[in-house]
Amino acid sequence: MGAGHLDSYQSGANQLRKAFSSGLSSGNANAAFYCAGHGTHFSTISAETDLPSLLLQIDYYLRLLEIYKSEMAKKFFLCYRETVSTLIDRGQSTGIEAKLSYGDASDPGIGNKPVLEVFYFHQVFRNYWLGYSERCHHYVQKCFNISKPGHFFIYVIKFYHGKKFQPLSRLTAVSPESL
């Protein structure tokens, strides 16, 4: 994938950040955080922003969510935050205690299917970049089982599912019980 293919994501992330500011200043916090979530997603997959800056931006959104009390948006941002922290240093010094768990993502009481899709997508993304091929493929299958055909995540997941992994000598062994 060349830089030309990522320009639209990078431009989209920039526009979505502007839409976040506009939404928040006009009093529409739901639309603002919706835009912020998509902007964060685009920034993560396109490397539009360096990871430490993106982490600071996500922390800013999480602080604002303490004021605006949107639990659904908070779940998405916790997932993004964990992914960025993992990509920076495997969460060693950038991790926080608050994380999105499978139990939080799969709670059927508040219509969490989109949260579960994001949870699985980020599991695929993290495990791919950490070199855990079996774990990555495990979450690919879970994502395929719940996502609709044509959904953006499916295309990205198919990319990671079909992409060649690192040589086995560089992969970390994972026991089936840890999946």
CB 1 within 8 A of CB 46: no
DSSP calls for 24-87:
HHTT-HHHHHHHHHHHHHHHHHHT-S-HHHHHHHHHHHHHHHHHH--HHHHHHHHHHHHHHHHH
Question: Is the pTM here over 0.85, yes or no?
Answer: no
Average pLDDT of span 133-162: 69
- Give the torsion sign (CA, 128, 150, 102, 142): negative
Per residue in 21-47, pLDDT tens? 888 899 888 889 998 998 898 888 777
Per residue in 92-138, pLDDT tens? 888 777 776 666 666 665 556 778 888 888 888 888 888 888 888 88
